[in-house]
Every structure is written in C-alpha cells, then in structure tokens.
Amino acid sequence: MEYLWIIPFSPLVAFIIIGLFGYKFLREPLSGIVAVIGVAISAVASIIGFIDVAKTGNYYDLKLYNWMSIGDYNISVSILWDPLSALMTCVVTCVSTFIFIFATGYMKGDESYPRFFAYLSLFVFMMLMLTLSDNLVQLFFGWEGVGLASYLLIGFWHYKKSAANAAMESFVVNRVGDWLFLLGILLAFVTFGTLDYLQIFNKLAGVDYVIITAIALLLFGGAVGKSAQIPLHIWLPNAMEGPTPVSALIHAATMVAAGVYMVARLMPVFASSEVALDTVMFVGTMSAFIAATMGLVQNDIKRIIAYSTLSQLGYMFAAEGLGLFSEGMFHLTSHAVFKALLFLGSGSVLIALHHLLDIQKMGQIGRAMPITTGTFLIGALALAGIPPFVGFFSKDPIIEGAYEINTFVFLFLWGGAFLTAFYIFRLFFLTFFDGDRLDPHLREHVHESPPNMTIPLIVLATATVVLGFFKEFFINFLKPSLDPAYMKFLPNDVKALVSEGLSRAHHVHIEPNAFSFLGHSLTSFLGILILATAIAGITLAYVMYQIRRIDPVKIGDMFQPIYKLFYNRWYFDHIYYAIFVYGYYKLSKVLWFVGDKVIIDGIVDGSGKGSVFAGGVLGKTQLGRISGYVLQMLIGVVIFLSLFLFLK
Amino acid sequence: MVPYEYYVALSGLLMVLGLIGVIVRKNVIAMLISTELMLNAVNIAFVAFDVKLHDVVGQVFVFFILTIAAAEAAVGLGLIMAIYRMKKDVDVEKLTELKG
C-alpha cells in the first residue's frame, strides 16, 4: 500500500508547479490542465486503494515522515487507510476532479486563472492531509490548511469589498471553533499522552467520563465552526462570494463535511460520552431545521443552496448523534455528489446570465439550457428525497432512525424535509420556468454551457441516480470503521464501551439493501409519510411559483413576523454584529483611549513637555551678563578645587 | 634674596585684582586688560615656582603664554572693534544677547 502517498502529494506537486510557473509559462488553459491531472492522479490512486480495502476490510497505518517529538510521543506525517478514510478520500478526489474540469470552463478568461487553480490544488492537498491523517496534529494541520485555502478562495475576487469581508468573516468565525478544537487536542494529549487515533482508542476504557466528555465537546466545537452549524453558521452563506466551483467544492462537498468526518473518525471517543452524542444530535437537528427556514425566503440562488448545505450538514450531525454513523457518512457521500451537482448547475446558470444572482429576476431559461436544467432537476429531486435518487436512500434512513430513537429530533428533521423540498423547488421553478422576468438583453445571450462544464454535470447527475442503489455496499463497507463489532483496532473492553454508547441505535433496523429499503418505504406508514411530505413540499412550490394559484407575496404578508424572522436569518447576524463587531469596536475605542491616548501618548508627549518646562525654569538663570557668568565660573572652580583639596 | 612666597603672594594678588576687574568693570576694553593682568599673574607664579624647584619648563611656558597673550589681545581687540561697529557701544551691561 506504499503507493498511497501519491494521493495527497500529487495535488501538492500541481500546486507548486502552477504556483511557480503559472503566470509565466502555463497561463490560461495549461495551468487548469495541470491541476486537473494532479487531482485525477490522486483520484485514481485513491480508487485503487478503495478497492483494496473493500476487498479485504483491512486497515493500514503508514508513517511517512517523523515530524517532531514531544517527550515519548512522535508526531508523524502519516496515512491511516481504512474504509472510512478511503471513502472520504474517494469522495474528495473524485468530486474535486469533476469540479476542476468544470472550473476550467467557469474561470475562462479570468485574469487570475493560474492563481485560482493553484489555490484549488492547495486546498485538495490540505483536505487530503486532513482525511488521511492518523493523528490529531496532522488533522489539525489539514484543518487549518483548508481554512486558509477557503479564505483565499472566498476572497479570490479580492477587489470586491463584499468578497474580502466575507473571507475575513469566515476566517474569524472559524478561529472561534478552531480555538476550541485546539483546546480539545491539548486536553486529549494531557489525558492520553498520545494523539494517534488508534492509541487513543486503546486507552479509552480507563479514562474519566467527564474528561472524555470535555474532549469530545471541545473537538465538536471545532466541527461546529468548520461545518458551519448553529451558532457558528453565519460565515457559510456569505462565503458564496467566492467563485461557484469553490462553493461547490469547499463550501458544499468537502471542507464543510470535514467536521462530520472528524466526528465519525473519532466515533469511539464520542460514543463513550452520552452527553457529547446528545450535543451533536441537538446541534445538528436545530441546524437542519433553522437553516431550512432561512433558505425558504432568500432570493440569492447561491445562498439558498448554501442554507441547504447547512441544513443537510445538520442532518449528518443528527445522524451521528443518533448513533447512526454509517448513515451519516453515507449521507455525506451522497450530499457531496448532489450538492456539487446543484452548485455546478447554478454556476452554469450564472455563466449564462452574466453573474445575475437574484432568482426573482430569472425565469424561463430552462428551454435554452436543457442539460443544465435536467441535471439540476435531478440534483433537486435528490435533495428533496425522492426515489430513486441518492438523497432518498441517504436522508430517509436518518429520519426513520430518528423516529425510533427521539421524537423531538424526528419532528424537526421531518419538518426540515418538507422545507427542503419546498425551497429547492421554489428555486428550481423561479430559475428555470415560471414567467419571463429576465432582462431582455440578457435573454438574447442565454446559451447552454460548453462541454467542459456540462460533462461534469452529466457525470455527477449519473452518480446521483446510480449511487443510491449501492447503499448496502457502502453500509457494509464502512462496518470495519464504524461498527464496534467489526472494528479490528479496538480492544474488547473499548468495544463494549462504544457498543454501550451506541445502544440508543441498537433497536433501529434500517434495510441495508436499497431495493428492500425502497419497498419498505413504499409500504410502511412512516415511509409513505416522509415521501408524501417531500412531494407535498414540491407541490406547494409548484402551486405557488409555477401556476401561481397562491400568491407568495400574500402569504408573506399574512405571516409577516415569521417571514421577517426567516428573511433576517433569525437575527443571528444582527445579534453577532451588535455583540461582537460593535462590542469589539467599543472595546477597541476604550483601549485606544486608555492605552494609547492616555498611557503611551502621555509618556511620549509628557517627556517633551517636561523638557520644555525644565528649559524654561533653568533659562531664568541665564542673565546674559558676562560678569554673572564669570562669577558662576569662579564659584564652580572654587567648589571643585576645594573638593579636590579636601578629598585628597 | 627675596623669598619665593612674596612672588606667589604678588601673583595671587594680581589674579584676584584681575578677576575683580573682569567682574565689576563695565567697559569691555577694561575687562580685556583685566584678563591680561590674570595671565601675567600666572606668569609670575610660574617663574616663582621655577626658582623654588630649580626647573626651566615653567620659564619656557612663560614665553608661550606671552606669545598667546599678544595674539589674544589682538583677537580680543578685533572682536571689540566688531562689537563696537555693530552696537556703537562697548558697555557690557547692554550686551545681553544670551539672556534666557
């Protein structure tokens, strides 16, 4: 398995080549091609590794390079290749490959074309360092690295003030989470004396419950920041200022899923603490529901999909909190595919409409762009959870599992499913069908995108249709990483502990086979209820925005306070602005006055003023008369002479 | 032979007279003359101690001082002439440019 080192370092090589020679030699098409080749190589390598793990169910822990030693513990750059990391790595590299191909079309003609692909390659390298890591330090390295790449790419068009601000916001909000994450790592090191996952898992059995809970919660704090869960979600919608391939890759498919991946990776730690699992569950549930309500009333095409990302990440966390880790990871995989598809579809629309974002000003562009419309429809159906698309097979098990485990969580996830279906089809009808609200000048230029943009759409759409039927394969594939009974690297006492932690999900039986799950859904009351909810959401969107039987403006007026609450995003931004931005500004002003104005300026100005005052006083002794000077000199001479004589 | 103490006493007397002259006189030329007086007091002291110590270095020094005194008188008078041309006066009470 030595060839696995190619996976992270191939994009790094691409980054270095483009970074050094991008502007001088490679320029527009070549730098994109180099980036695509770099990520394609790692995609092929990870698929080969994936097949190996799928056959054997083994895990490999490769130490590539000894980074530094702390006492007895060596921090190493390493690769932990087990089903979980193999799946995540495959998702990252494969989705990246298609998004890179799409980006070669999307970024056409941009003056910073090489820089864009250099950043993207850097991002993929960092993301792979994160997924492949076998210890918390390398994970944190990748974690910060993807944060940096995200910052650079959100602010890619840095001459736009809104983009620069959004980049800053995402970086600062992520720092809050990363600070907690770092504290979690430190506490883990103090507790276990090691940061390698496998060694931590081995030592779990004897550790105090409170400390495990604290470690898990602190690490989860980092995940809340990175995966944009409530209350640290505010950066993700604003991050849509970046180019659309960035939104698709970083802010939908991969980076924001890093938090979900991290929780799954450290499943034994989280499963050892009921409080931690409950926290994950409730934060995920609330994010899933609240973000969906925010998405209902937005008008920016990319922001709606961004809120949908928040909401779907919430479903993943809720699944993990419910103990359904495999279902959570399967939803991550399926979400990466269909959300990348939705984002790329919206990118295709933006190119056709010259970066018009407001869906209220679009309409009836479906006929001009058949491929984009068709693939977007597939993505939207998958998001809404309609069979046979992959979203149905990944989201329904979570909701059904919630029904068995926790009624509160079920109600919110169920409501969220209705809202999801509604908002995504509101977007779909307003953009591609409905009345003609488009500016006539733009209307003339609406055209289907070139093949290097449509082919990724078609591939991702195909994956969205097909992937769901591999549900059983994925669930079984993940068992050696996420099911305590099959985990080879856990000792028996930890297995018992983890199994006890996951006992809340033990009575849940979800059909692993896709066909029997479909059959079960169509016959049982619960399955029909969830399916009917999704269809009701789509129908309502159809009635309101396509045939216009119900006027959405009137509905908005009828529920004025709720509408305002949703439209203003539950006032999260306002509250944060009032407390942190304004409070920080006030605090800075106080510190400026006390520290700068009074103390530092006081010292500097004071020494100047003191000198002037002393000069004024001593100047009075200078009379300007020669006799006076001579007398002073005489006195001085006498004093020194007498001193000389007496002290001798 | 006159004992050297008398010479030293004379030298001290001349020195004090010169100092008093510099301090109390208002005319710049008079002050210059007082300075010459002090220089000569030093000369007398040099010669007197030479006689006592049977040394000649002091007497050589006296010649240097005489030369410098001549030069100093020339420079001093030149400065006084310049001051007089500027102020039409040589009264030190009115030359208080350096008053703080």
Q: Is the pLDDT of residue A639 over 90?
A: yes
For the residues of A383-402, what is the DSSP string, one character each?
Answer: HHT-TTSHHHHHHHHHHHHH
Per-residue confidence (pLDDT) for residue A461, from 0 to 100: 93
Helical H segments across A82-228, by residue range? 83-106, 113-132, 136-154, 161-192, 197-203, 209-226
Please tell me which of the candidates A619, A622, A626 has its beta carbon nearest to residue B92.
Answer: A626
At residue A146, the pLDDT reads: 93
Question: Cis bond leading into A370, ω under 30°?
Answer: no
pLDDT at A448 over 90: no
Tokens of A353: 């409409």
**Residues of chain A contacting B, Cβ within 8 Å:** 618-627, 630-631, 634
Nearest CA in chain A to B22: A627
The answer to whether A353 touches A365, Cβ cutoff 8 Å, is yes
Query: At residue A402, what is the residue type?
Result: A
By mean pLDDT, which of A85-99, A300-314, A361-375, B9-23 is the weakest?
A: A361-375
Q: Which residues of A touch B96 (CB under 8 A)?
A: 623-625
**Average pLDDT of every residue of chain B:** 89
Mean pLDDT, to the nearest integer, of A155-174?
Answer: 91
Mean pLDDT of the region A456-482: 90
How far apart CA A226 and CA B78 sit, in angstroms, is: 88
Share of chain A above pLDDT 70, in %: 100
Q: Domain B4-87 falls in which CATH fold? A: Helix Hairpins (1.10.287)
Q: Is A196 helix (H, G, I), strand (E, B) or coil?
A: strand
Predicted confidence (pLDDT) at residue A133 exceeds the cutoff of 70: yes
Q: Which amino acid is at A549?
A: R
Confidence of residue A367 (pLDDT cuts 50, 70, 90): confident
Quick one: pLDDT band at residue B86, thresholds 50, 70, 90? confident
Alpha helix ranges (H) inside A435-593: 440-445, 451-466, 471-482, 492-501, 514-523, 525-545, 552-558, 560-567, 572-576, 582-591
Enumerate residues 6+ apart whose C-beta is below 8 A from A619: B100
Spatial neighbors of B12 by CB under 8 A, at least 6 apart, are: B41, B45
One-letter amino acid of B59: Q
Cβ contact B99–A622 (<8 Å): yes
pLDDT at A45: 93
Q: Is the pLDDT of residue A241 over 70?
A: yes
How far B1 CA lies from chain A's nearest CA (Å)? Answer: 31
Q: Do B19 and A625 touch (CB under 8 A)?
A: no
What percent of chain A has a predicted confidence (pLDDT) above 90? 51
Q: Is A158 helix (H, G, I), strand (E, B) or coil?
A: coil
Q: Decide if pLDDT at A469 tops 80.
A: yes
Q: What is the per-residue pLDDT for B38?
A: 92
Give the per-residue pLDDT at A28.
80
Give phi and psi for A341, each to the nearest 5. -60, -45
Beta-carbon count within 10 A of A356 CB: 15
The per-residue pLDDT for range A272-283, each reduced to its tens digit, is: 888 999 999 999
Convert the pLDDT of each residue in A573-613 to its tens digit: 888 888 888 998 999 999 999 988 899 999 999 999 999 99
Under DSSP, the state recorded for A498 is H
Could you tell me which residues are beta bridge partners of residue A76?
A: A66
Element (H or E) spanning A80, and its range?
strand A73-81
Interchain CB contacts (distance < 8 Å): A and B: 33
CA distance B35 to chain A (A): 11
Distance CA B36, CA B41 (A): 9
For residue A129, give the nearest of A180, A49, A64 by alpha carbon. Answer: A64
How many CB atoms sit inside 10 A of residue A53's CB? 22
As given in the structure block, the two tokens for residue A400 are 């059904």
Integer Cα distance of A528 and A534 in angstroms: 10
Q: Pick from A4, A109, A120, A116: which is nearest to A59 by CA?
A: A4
Beta carbons of A422 and A294 less than 8 angstroms apart: no
Residues near A603 by Cβ (< 8 Å), separated by ≥ 6? none
Torsion over CA: A569, A575, A580, A582 (sign): positive
Confidence bin at A505 (pLDDT 50/70/90): confident
Alpha carbon of A635: minimum distance to chain B alpha carbons (Å) = 12
Residue type, A289: F
Selection from A627, A394, A254 nearest residue B20 by Cα: A627
Task: Indicate the pLDDT class of residue B100, thresholds 50, 70 and 90.
Answer: low
Between CA A383 and CA A450 the distance in angstroms is: 26
Residue A507 has what pLDDT? 83
Nearest to A265 by CA among A77, A91, A131: A131
Q: Do A625 and B96 touch (CB under 8 A)?
A: yes
Min distance B60 CA to chain A CA atoms (Å): 26
Nearest to A630 among B23, B95, B100 (CB): B23
Per residue in A322-340, pLDDT tens?
Answer: 988 999 999 999 999 999 9
Which residue in A329, A431, A380 sits closest to A534, CA to CA?
A: A380
Q: What is the mean pLDDT of chain A?
A: 89
Report the distance separating Cα A267 and Cα A323, nearest Å.
Answer: 9
Mean pLDDT of A304-323: 92
Looking at residue A76, what DSSP letter applies?
E
Q: Which residues of B touch A626 (CB under 8 A)?
A: 22, 31, 92, 95
For residue B86, give both structure tokens: 């500027």
Give how far Cα A648 sits from Cα of A476, A527, A624, A638, A641, Å. 103, 112, 36, 15, 11
Give the chain B residue whose CA is nearest to the CA of A635. Answer: B19
Q: Which helix (H) or strand (E) holds A68?
A: strand A60-70
Alpha-helical segments (H) within A227-324: 235-238, 244-248, 258-265, 267-271, 274-296, 301-321
